[in-house]
Amino acid sequence: MQKNEKQKEIERSPVVVVMGHIDHGKSTLLDYIRKTNVVAGEAGGITQHMSAYEVVHKAKDGATKKMTFLDTPGHEAFAEMRSRGAAAADIAVLVVSAEDSVKAQTIEAWNTIIESKTPYIVAINKIDKPNANVEKVKNDLLEKGIYLEGYGGDVPFVEISAKEGTNIEQLFDLILIVAEIAELKGDPSVGAEGIVIESHLDPKRGLSATLIIKNGTLKKSMFVVVDDALASTRLIEDFMGKKVESLSFSSPVGITGFDSQPKVGERFYAFANKKDAEQAVRIFKETTRNSAQTDKIEAREDLAIVPILIKTDVSGTGVAVVQEIKKLETDRVKMKIITRGVGAITENDVKMASGDKNTIVLGFNVKLEPRAKDHVENQGVTVATFDIIYKLTDYLKEIVAKRTPRTQVAETTGSVRILKIFSAAKDKMVVGARIESGKIALGNEARIMRRDFPIGSCKITNIEQHKMKVKEINDGECGMLVETKFELAPGDVLEAFTMVTK
């Protein structure tokens, strides 16, 4: 960047994500901040799907500062959404309960923060509770490698009560200090760019998205591009749902009217004219066409492909559902996501799924439209809807179990080493042998192993031990009649096997 470009940069407010265990007070903290510190105290105007809001705080030097808070899910199943939330943020607040201390989900959230290289603060919450033990929390964090200031490290921390509002102002001060160290800057003179933090289908206004501006300014009559999704900015809304003429960096902004579903976590870019925006879309399509070929799953006899069509209430939830589905794949069952969208399961969704009888239509926090129900019955399409993530995964586990291809596997039951060749006739040999492992039974098929390499196969048609014919042997030496087209030699090992269906 040239010197004159750097001079255009000015300080910007931090974007903050609050993370941690679902029961450690993350939501309570966000609710308290929203109710007490939102700009002009107009929290009531915030829409549920905005998932972000600005707060104001008077710093120690008397200056009024802004901060943007992202609201991300806390359940471990939504790690992907939380990961994207951290990527969109400048600073993370890791909430840990003074009652319950460090949990697995706390460490999962911490790892997400570390991987995204986001500066962070630890907020030890619930200090108002009778069972609070702040020192234990500090020691537990130390054991997990989270080194707080004053405890051998440089991670800033604050003890709070989100319920009572205790030390929330100190938390804000700490956020501003970390932001100052990070030297967050932006250029208001360029077109806006940033991150999509939520997208959904508005029944009245179509495909909509919440964006966080990380640089530049977004104005009316511009065009926003997210990969191959495009929208004009005829209508710009701030985080309270108010129509505005423009917004600059660190602000949440609502945009409606996308021509396709913008993906959560992807970057957006604003253009002054439609021609440049359409060119950006064309470039994206060109560069991704070839890479898309690698996503195709190669068909094999021992591989079952489960086509899935996903509909969710919001795009971010769809990302998390895909992540959970992919965890269920095995070497013999692969999930193929045909499409992922938002809104109710429609007649078109069912028609799309009816082309392959193996397709499953999955809905999460959405309903099946009445007109679609008739097609489900007529076409025999499998549709399942859920509102709890583990019920969805349990359902798919059953599908995986049912559709896993059954294969014949050779399991070794025993082995013998050839000691001596007594006689050989056409395709038959009488040999002396010693049991090496397991057991050998009359009629067994066996692999012929020479110096640990298979050279052929044979069938054991007679077994004698102590001059008596026996049906099987599991110890000692024996004589055997072996049918084979291969010439056996002393030292060869015969590995008996049976075919098992798995």
Q: Domain extents for the chain?
A: 3-185, 193-292, 301-403, 408-501
pLDDT tens figures, 268-318? 999 999 998 998 888 787 766 644 544 555 667 778 889 999 998 877 777
pLDDT range class, residue 7, cuts 50, 70, 90: low
Rg (CA), the chain: 32
pTM of the model: 0.63
Q: Which fold has domain 3-185?
A: Rossmann fold (3.40.50)
Mean pLDDT of 93-118: 89
Question: What are 66's two structure tokens?
Answer: 């802004």
Tell me, what's the pLDDT at 75? Answer: 43
Report the greatest alpha carbon distance in the chain: 104
Q: Which of 369, 337, 339, 315 is nearest to 201 (CA)?
A: 315
Tell me, what's the pLDDT at 296? Answer: 58
Percent of the chain with pLDDT over 90: 49
Tell me, what's the pLDDT at 297? Answer: 59
Residue carrying the six token digits 């069509």: 309
CATH superfamily, domain 408-501, is: Translation factors (2.40.30.10)
Q: Under CATH, which number does the domain 301-403 receive?
A: 3.40.50.10050
CATH superfamily, domain 193-292, is: Translation factors (2.40.30.10)
In sequence order, what are the residues at sequence separation of 6 or more whose Cβ sits closer than 8 angstroms to the Cβ of residue 227? Answer: 262, 263, 266, 281, 284, 288
Higher per-residue pLDDT: 115 or 219: 219
pLDDT tens figures, 391-442? 999 999 999 989 888 777 889 999 999 999 999 988 999 999 999 999 999 9
Q: Which of 431, 434, 457, 461 is nearest to 446 (CA)?
A: 457
Q: CB–CB of 381/476 below 8 Å?
A: no
Distance, in Å, from the CA atom of 236 to the CA atom of 220, rounded to the nearest integer, reads 7
Q: CB–CB of 461/442 below 8 Å?
A: yes
Whether residue 386 is predicted with pLDDT greater than 50 in this model: the reply is yes
Whether residue 193 is predicted with pLDDT greater than 70 in this model: the reply is yes
How many C-beta atoms lie closer than 10 Å to residue 230's C-beta? Answer: 20
pLDDT range class, residue 77, cuts 50, 70, 90: very low
Whether residue 74 is predicted with pLDDT greater than 60 in this model: the reply is no
Q: Which of 159, 151, 168, 153 is nearest to 36 (CA)?
A: 168
Supply the mean pLDDT for the chain: 86
Environment class of 338 (CB within 10 Å of its CB; exposed 0-12, middle 13-18, buried 19+):
middle
Whether residue 44 is predicted with pLDDT greater than 50 in this model: the reply is no
- Do the domains 193-292 and 408-501 sit in the same CATH topology, yes or no? yes
Output the DSSP codes for 31-93. Answer: HHHHHHHBGGG-GGG--GGG-EEEEEEE-TTS-EEEEEEE----SGGGHHHHHHHHHH-SEEE
Whether residue 86 is predicted with pLDDT greater than 50 in this model: the reply is yes
Q: CB–CB of 101/133 below 8 Å?
A: yes
Mean pLDDT of 239-263: 91
Tell me, what's the pLDDT at 137? Answer: 95
Q: CB–CB of 52/239 below 8 Å?
A: yes
Distance, in Å, from the CA atom of 266 to the CA atom of 379, rounded to the nearest integer, reads 36
Distance, in Å, from the CA atom of 62 to the CA atom of 370, rounded to the nearest integer, reads 58
Distance, in Å, from the CA atom of 85 to the CA atom of 450, rounded to the nearest integer, reads 59
Residues in the chain: 502
pLDDT tens figures, 444-496? 999 999 998 999 999 999 999 998 999 999 999 999 999 999 999 999 999 99
Tell me, what's the pLDDT at 288? Answer: 65
Question: What are 61's two structure tokens?
Answer: 């030097």
Whether residue 267 is predicted with pLDDT greater than 70 in this model: the reply is yes
Tell me, what's the pLDDT at 294? Answer: 42
